[in-house]
Amino acid sequence: MANLKFWRTQYFVVKSATLHLINYGKLNSSDLIAECIATRTSAAWEEFVRRFQPLIAGVVARTASRWQLVSPALVDDLVQETYLKLCTQEFRRLREFESRHNDAIYGFLKAVAYNVTLDYFKGHNAAKRGSKLLNNTDFDVSLRVEGQESPAEDTVLLREIEDLIGEVAEKERDKVVFLLYYRQGFTAKTIAEIPSIELTEKGVESCLHRLTERLRKRVVGRIS
């Protein structure tokens, strides 16, 4: 038993020494990530940050600049969020990443950083828009004017509104009526004159009222 303890001690001493002898800076990207996951040594992760942080920070800064002037503090926060995303669930994203070539990791990290930044601004702007919609006494007016802050925000808003209308509209026709009225500026009378709509002017107004009420409730549910 004493000999067994001795050899176990020797093994861990040799293993520890081997880890300290590794020059992580000379490892290719795939091997470095494998070491980060398997050993979790600070030296391995320091090399990971040294090697990939400029890339991650650059993607975050470029993506964030679509919405606002970028501050170093915001970039740092989103870079940290990117690292958190990579490390959650026992490094699941890194473990499941399949490298088809040595530089594939760069594209993967770009995608993660981009999505983290995009999610941040979608959540931030959705909450801001939702609050304005809820506080506006005329929900109909809000739907007409929201999303005009910047081209990027407008694109995101229109996509979100169309998704929500797709969820609350009972028929494809109702969705078309909504988009013609709020996005194309058609009047209820003009929409009623379209043969395929098959609604009177009063019917169009009733459809719009029903959809805006459902949309209001859905917005409340998403931000409450």
Q: Alpha-carbon distance 130 to 142, whole Å?
A: 10
Chain center to CA of 172: 28
Same domain, 83 and 190: no
Lowest mean pLDDT among 13-17, 28-32, 40-44: 13-17
Six-digit token string for 133: 């919609």
**Amino acid type, 75:** V
Say if residue 43 is exposed, middle or buried (CB neighbours under 10 Å; 0-12, 13-18, 19+).
Answer: middle
Task: Tell me, yes or no, whether 129 lies in a domain.
Answer: no
Task: Tell me which range, 43-47, 178-182, 215-219, is most confidently predicted by mean pLDDT.
Answer: 43-47
Give pLDDT tens digits for 7-24: 344 434 444 444 457 888
Give pLDDT tens digits for 54-69: 999 999 998 888 888 8
**Amino acid type, 183:** R
Same domain, 8 and 113: yes
Task: Tell me, yes or no, whether 218 lies in a domain.
Answer: yes
Other C-beta atoms within 10 Å of 165: how many? Answer: 21
Kindly provide the b/e burial profile for residues 128-160, where b requires at least 16 CB atoms within 10 angstroms of the residue's own CB: ebbeebeeeeeeeebbeebbeeeeebeebbeeb
Give pLDDT tens digits for 44-53: 999 999 999 9
CATH label of the domain that carries residue 76:
1.10.1740.10
Give pLDDT tens digits for 132-173: 544 444 455 445 544 444 444 444 455 666 777 778 888 888
Same domain, 91 and 173: no
Print the SS3 string covering 30-41.
HHHHHHHHHHCC
> Which residue in 17, 25, 61, 69 sits closest to 43, CA to CA?
25
Six-digit token string for 46: 């320091």
Chain center to CA of 1: 55
Structural domain harbouring 183: 136-223
Same domain, 6 and 61: yes
Same domain, 8 and 73: yes
Give pLDDT tens digits for 147-156: 444 444 444 4
